[in-house]
Amino acid sequence: MNKSQLITRIAENSGLTKKDTQAALNSILKLTQKRLSEGDPVQISGLGTFTLSYHPPKQGRNPQTGETITIEGQNKVLFKPAKALKDSLHD
């Protein structure tokens, strides 16, 4: 499911217009991104928790030349599903 399909489904289920639904979803996404960039986890009850995890620099290899290169450290977003979500998938 892509973003526009999600907006359509939310609008159908909530009775909101697609425009209002899109504004709400964009706000949620923007707030989630802001909180994560500040280092705070984002927990959505029944869905799960988004957190940042720092991966330090490491050595890699250029596949074309075989040259050893350093891959910069980076933050990655981790998602841990809530128990309710995991349980609902096993029914």
Q: What is the pLDDT of residues 50-69, one digit of tens each?
A: 999 999 999 999 999 999 99
pLDDT of residue 27: 97
Q: Which uninterrupted H or E stretch holds 61?
A: strand 58-61
Instruction: Output DSSP code: residue 25.
Output: H
* pLDDT at residue 91 tops 80: no
Residues facing 70 on adjacent strands: 59
Q: Give this prediction's pTM.
A: 0.76
Q: Is 13 exposed, middle or buried (0-12, 13-18, 19+ CB in 10 A)?
A: exposed
